[in-house]
């Protein structure tokens, strides 16, 4: 397999330098340019977007953390039905004064749903929004919590 070589203009002082990392970076930029329109397709179709989230389980509860930067708490709806937790809402368009040169942040409606692996206590659900992250704590019933057994 032959490696690409940059041709010289005949001057022997100019060294031909080729780096696979430079070629890979150029290919990555070109590929990103092709994929940009597809990234916006759900937003253009009105389907909204799905925010990033983590689901953590500890001894007392399940904790769902959903990344929602720029979303006001009034624009978020949280529902729980059995073991299913649904977070829906809208990230509103920011009012602009200048010219928007590039847009990468998604605006519009969003939805995130997760089915938790065990039974939950629906009445004890707590939620708070802090630094753009929504924290939803869903407690487990007493019978699901581990008990420490004393050895005699």
Task: List the Cα angle 123/67/79 in 5-degree steps.
Answer: 25
Contact 77, 89 (CB under 8 A): yes
Q: Is residue 1's pLDDT more than 70?
A: no
DSSP 8-class letter at 20: H
Give the residue from 137, 141, 91, 80 showing the smallest Cα distance to 113: 80
Please write the tens of the pLDDT for every residue from 6-60.
Answer: 665 555 544 557 777 787 888 877 877 776 666 666 555 656 788 999 999 999 9
Q: Which long-range contacts (CB under 8 A, 24 or more apart) does 122-127 make?
A: 122/80, 122/82, 125/78, 125/80, 127/78
Please write the tens of the pLDDT for every residue from 60-110.
Answer: 999 999 999 999 999 999 999 999 999 999 998 888 888 888 888 888 899
Q: In the prediction, which pLDDT does 14 show?
A: 47
Backbone phi, psi, residue 95, to 5°: -70, 125
The predicted model scores a pTM of 0.65
């Amino acid at each position: 397999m032959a490696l690409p070589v940059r041709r010289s203009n005949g001057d022997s002082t100019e060294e031909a330098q080729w780096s696979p990392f430079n070629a890979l970076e150029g290919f990555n930029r070109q590929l990103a340019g092709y994929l940009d329109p597809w990234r916006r397709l759900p937003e253009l179709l009105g389907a909204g977007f799905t925010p990033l989230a983590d689901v953590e389980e500890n001894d007392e509860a399940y904790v769902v953390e959903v990344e929602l930067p720029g979303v006001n708490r009034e624009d978020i709806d949280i529902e729980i039905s059995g073991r299913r937790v649904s977070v829906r809402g809208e990230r509103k368009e920011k009012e602009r004064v200048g010219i928007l040169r590039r847009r990468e942040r998604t605006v519009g409606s969003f939805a995130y749903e997760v089915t938790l692996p065990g039974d939950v206590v629906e009445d004890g659900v707590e939620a708070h929004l802090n630094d753009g992250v929504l924290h939803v704590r869903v407690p487990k019933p007493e019978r699901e919590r581990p008990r420490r057994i004393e050895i005699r």
